Amino acid sequence: MMQLFGGIRRPLADCVPDLVATARGAKPATLVVRNAKLVNVCSGEILEGMSVGVQGSRIAYVGRKPEPLIGEETKVIDAQGKYLAPGFLDGHCHIESTQLTVTQFARAVLPQGTTGGFFDAHEMVNVLGLSGLKLMLDEARQTPLAAYLQVASCVPSTDASLETSGASIGPAEVEEAFSWGPDVIALGEVMNFPGVVYGDPKMLGEIQATLRAGRVADGHFTWPASDERLIAYAASGVTGDHECVTKEDVVERVRLGMYAKMRRGSAWHDVEETIKAHTELGLDPRRMMLVTDDRSVESLVDEGHMNFVIRNAIRQGVKPVTAIQMATINTAERFGVARDVGTITPGSYADMVLLDGHLADVNVAMTICAGEVVAENGQMALELAGMHYPAEATRSMNLASVPVPEDFVIEAPIEEGKLRARVIRVQENHVETKAEEALVTVRGGRVQLEPGVGPCKIAVFERHQGSGGRSVALVDGIGFHEPAALAMTVAHDSHNLLVIGNNDELMARAAARVAEAQGGAAFAGAGGDALLPLRIAGLLSDAPFEEVAEQSRRLSAALQSAGCTLNYAFMTLSLLALVVIPELRISDKGLVEITADGIHKVQLFIDADAKASD
């Protein structure tokens, strides 16, 4: 039986006497790693024959003469010439996108070298309000991770007239959350960028509360890089942004003094283009960061976490040490915590990874957090206790009624004929959708779909207040070639019940299974059903990550068997209700179009007054 993690992260000021005594050889270190190739992210060098001495949770010594530090109780690790690098940091991550609790997320990523991150819990907050953030913070503090939480800035993500969320956050709530401790580190991505640019008091008030608390604000700006409204956005105090999809996006942000976060999630493959700002244009990488944003539990198991992202950047032509800097010191400096994390230097937390083989392979052999070995050879070396979630988190489904087939009918303004309708076009490996048009068939005053031909239906049901609000529209690019449906409560950002399909009966069946499970994702098809239960806020499973990965894999297989072969389809489809990303989305209140002029509700039918065709 493995022992429980017992590491305690003590403030540097409390550790000074012990660290100094250890560094001069007067007090034995608790841990020494010797004979390592040190990846020095401060100088950009690889230093051979190095040793690191640890006292408690922090580093006391970095040098070549470790013998005076070693006492009878000192744990000594011979690196045998392996690379020793700072633990990897994820500079923008939503843990909820993995469908795991913080404990299970830690179990999944610690063996892969991630020792900390900056986590925006706006999914949980959109469902449960500040109590959701507090639950995740409390659980994070019980793990080995150097976990820094961000206060969700956009709850709901935009004007309440466009969608129904489970909570509302404003300047007062932001101020309160920052009083919980220094590990509440920043204001989460400010997605309502039009509100910031045009002076919305709520958004500006949240940023002001953040700055007064001495914290930083993260951004989410999706207008083109050439749009000078980015300057107004930066003037508000937002100093980092992960919505970079081109090298020009990176250039414009860096030139304004912002940190450009280059994203490689499961379904968002942006690094390949954004990294060219450094590899092709030669920009200084000090304000460039590698982040995941959203990674599914399947991709955590199959590909990895920050180790995979760093390796991918190296394959795009980034020098290995530079790529590691983009996931360590750059990230720590962006959030103002480089004294604690992101480097292997005296005084810093002892968060380190041993890398086997070639540095470019980023092959993690051992992970050390707060001075303890927490993972070795791909496996956890310690048990993590986990946390019990209260009923308010596990009973969050509040539908007015369970959807029935009739709820998915699209009524038309004509009895028979053809109508032009707006259609949401899904784009594989991109967060953006396209706003398209299609001719749809109307019979008996209702839109008729044929499986395998043209678009599917997409519906959103309000599930927080029991209002009965719902909308039904059309989506293309799903790929279903037979009757099939997918329902899920993972529907960014308000996380209402989202249902996609080409058969009303199957859509109702999938929705009913999700409602019965108190949240999750369900597939219904001719070949059978699949269920991923997520009873915590309709977003997270409390099962071990290995079990959740297998459930997610079965769901993906069911989607693929019905013709939906999108890369990590579940993650891509979960964004179709995110009404702040171009071009066309759906909420419980209808279709929403995002253009350079702002965010607007639009009608499904373009020619709603059309006459029946001959």
Q: What is the pLDDT of residues 51-72, one digit of tens each?
A: 999 999 999 999 999 999 999 9
Q: What is the pLDDT of residues 60-115, one digit of tens each?
A: 999 999 999 999 999 999 999 999 999 999 999 999 999 999 999 999 999 999 99
Q: What is the pLDDT of residues 546-563, one digit of tens each?
A: 999 999 999 999 999 999
Q: Say if residue 492's pLDDT is above 50.
A: yes
Strand 31-40 and strand 45-55: the pairing is antiparallel
Q: Which residues, other chains included, contact 425 with Cβ-Cβ below 8 Å and sequence gap of 6+?
A: 433, 434, 435, 436, 475, 476, 477, 584
CB atoms within 10 A of CB 381: 18
* For residues 452-468, average pLDDT: 93
Q: What is the per-residue DSSP string for 11-42?
A: -HHHHHHHHHHHHTTSS--SEEEEEEEEEETT
Kindly state the DSSP code that residue 267 receives in the 8-state scheme.
S
C-beta separation of 235 from 219 below 8 A: no
Distance CA 266, CA 125 (A): 23
For residue 481, name the pLDDT band (cuts at 50, 70, 90).
Answer: very high
Domain ranges within the chain, ordered by starting residue? 88-335, 393-601
Q: What is the pLDDT of residues 328-350, one digit of tens each?
A: 999 999 999 999 999 999 999 99
What local confidence, expressed as pLDDT, does residue 608 receive?
A: 55
Q: Say if residue 416's pLDDT is above 50.
A: yes
Determine what percent of the chain is predicted with pLDDT higher than 70: 98
Cα 376 to Cα 3, 47, 61, 186, 426: the distances in Å are 14, 23, 23, 32, 40
For residue 225, name the pLDDT band (cuts at 50, 70, 90).
Answer: confident
What local confidence, expressed as pLDDT, does residue 3 receive?
A: 64
Q: Say if residue 485's pLDDT is above 90.
A: yes
What local confidence, expressed as pLDDT, does residue 291 receive?
A: 98
C-alpha radius of gyration, the chain, whole number? 25
For residue 612, name the pLDDT band (cuts at 50, 70, 90).
Answer: very low
What local confidence, expressed as pLDDT, does residue 454 receive?
A: 84
What local confidence, expressed as pLDDT, does residue 215 receive?
A: 98
What local confidence, expressed as pLDDT, does residue 129 receive?
A: 96
C-beta separation of 263 from 291 below 8 A: yes
Q: Which residues, other chains included, contact 537 with Cβ-Cβ below 8 Å and sequence gap of 6+?
A: 96, 123, 124, 127, 128, 132, 393, 396, 495, 519
Q: Say if residue 527's pLDDT is above 90.
A: no
What local confidence, expressed as pLDDT, does residue 268 receive?
A: 85
* For residues 401-412, average pLDDT: 97
C-beta separation of 494 from 587 below 8 A: yes
Distance CA 9, CA 352 (A): 14
Q: Which residues, other chains included, contact 207 with Cβ-Cβ below 8 Å and sequence gap of 6+?
A: 187, 190, 196, 217, 236, 237, 238
Q: Say if residue 6's pLDDT is above 90.
A: no
Peptide bond into 18 cis (omega under 30): no
How many Cα atoms are found within 13 Å in the side-chain-facing hemisphere of 272? 6
Highest-pLDDT range among 190-204, 327-341, 597-611: 327-341
Q: Which residue has the higher pLDDT, 428 or 520?
A: 520
What local confidence, expressed as pLDDT, does residue 1 receive?
A: 44
The total number of residues written for the chain in this structure: 614
Task: Assign 3-class secondary structure to 516-556.
Answer: HCCCEEEEEECCEEEEEECCECCCEECCCHHHHHHHHHHHH
Distance CA 87, CA 156 (A): 34
Report the chain's mean pLDDT, rounded to a whole number. 95
Predicted TM-score (pTM) of this structure: 0.93
Cα angle vertex 335, ends 331, 338, to 5°?
70
* For residues 528-535, average pLDDT: 96
CATH number of the domain at 88-335, please?
3.20.20.140
C-beta separation of 174 from 211 below 8 A: no
* For residues 302-325, average pLDDT: 98
End-to-end C-alpha distance for the chain, whole angstroms: 76
Distance CA 499, CA 489 (A): 9
What local confidence, expressed as pLDDT, does residue 429 receive?
A: 82
Distance CA 379, CA 546 (A): 12
Q: Which residues, other chains included, contact 302 with Cβ-Cβ below 8 Å and sequence gap of 6+?
A: none
What local confidence, expressed as pLDDT, does residue 452 receive?
A: 75
Q: Say if residue 128's pLDDT is above 80.
A: yes
* For residues 262-281, average pLDDT: 95
Determine what percent of the chain is predicted with pLDDT higher than 90: 89
What local confidence, expressed as pLDDT, does residue 611 receive?
A: 43
What local confidence, expressed as pLDDT, does residue 432 receive?
A: 87
